[in-house]
Amino acid sequence: MQSFFISALLLGLFIGAGIGAIVIIRSWYFGRTLWGRPGSDRGDWESSLATYKNLRDKGVLSEEEYRKIRTLVNPHLQSGTRPAANADQIAPV
């Protein structure tokens, strides 16, 4: 009876370690932190906007729908960090 409990406990630990490894590998592969938040919010907003722009170009979205989506996304883009291309506009210290 005692060997059954030890075996069940080891099996549970093995399964838990496997699930933990899968979660860590997936988060690393998809570039996200363990809590599901993206590493770069700005990049995600930009890629989402690019996806919607492609849908507009293909005719799936109307121009009005795209403008509404862009209006919702722009505040998120502006609140993020500035890209490195604007580094020349930063005043020297």
Tokens of 72: 């919702």
Q: Is the pTM of this model over 0.75?
A: no
Q: What is the pLDDT of residue 15?
A: 95
Q: What is the pLDDT of residue 88?
A: 44
Confidence of residue 89 (pLDDT cuts 50, 70, 90): very low
Amino acid code (one letter) for 48 = S
3-state secondary structure of 31: coil
Going by the DSSP 8-state scheme, the letter that residue 30 receives in this structure is T
Q: What is the pLDDT of residue 41?
A: 58
Annotated domain spans of the chain: 1-39, 40-81
At 14-73, the pLDDT tens digits run 999 999 999 888 877 776 555 555 445 566 778 888 889 999 999 988 999 999 988 888
